[in-house]
Structure 1
């Protein structure tokens, strides 16, 4: 049950990232079309907000599918025992770093809300709105890392291992 919920969250985050990438394309097309009609539309800020959302929503999904850049030169040649220790260490360090980041991004989001911070551009959007998306994305990324840590501790292959797929390593 929890496995399906987590995998659904990771997939949903991936789809949200894709939607925000489409949003970037739409804002650019709107700006180009408006210029051909001699109308100035500043879509830079909207595209930037979509980029932030796409980046952070995509982190958990790409991590779970082994699409993050990893240095496998050493890990790929390790025997099973040392490889497992190395994977546990990597997940612990990455998990701690991303949890630290998540804590501070969430704190920043609440501060932006409390102080009514607004973007300086034409949109004048409250900063907490895009920061909330970043917060959710970073939290999902932290959950994905800790999820893999649990899997490695249970003796299973991590989802990001290039030799397996997430559904292979979580069969229960």
Structure 2
């Protein structure tokens, strides 16, 4: 996956169709409430990103098209959580790392990846990573807390380093 690491930002910036071409798409029957339609149609979608082996699945809707879109969104976040690069300096940045987008924004996985890169370089100490992204420690903490997956990843990594978990 070493060669794959250098492509992370490209993958996170790709359109849905482009990223989908790099994935294996498996469908299956959904589980849970939804009645006869859900039990008879293969609406659940699992995407596996072929260059990295990272996968994401969604079966929240009875529509395979919606589930594919949701699985792509989840896949982007999984790629952002899994692959670390050397942090991009703010001067060379496109601005995505300086202003944290909303969690529902398509640029959020790219911002999350760069924020995690900065944290990784700072050994997951918020006070050391925040200035490299042009944020105060408090603001950076609040931006990280907006995504449960990012928050969990940061606290998991802090735990590995015997640092106390962050509080919201």
What TM-score do you get using the length of structure 1 for normalisation?
Answer: 0.29
> If each structure's strand is expressed as a fraction of its own residues, which one has the higher value?
2
> If each structure's helix is expressed as a fraction of its own residues, which one has the higher value?
1
Specify the structure having the higher radius of gyration (Cα): 1
What TM-score do you get using the length of structure 2 for normalisation?
Answer: 0.30
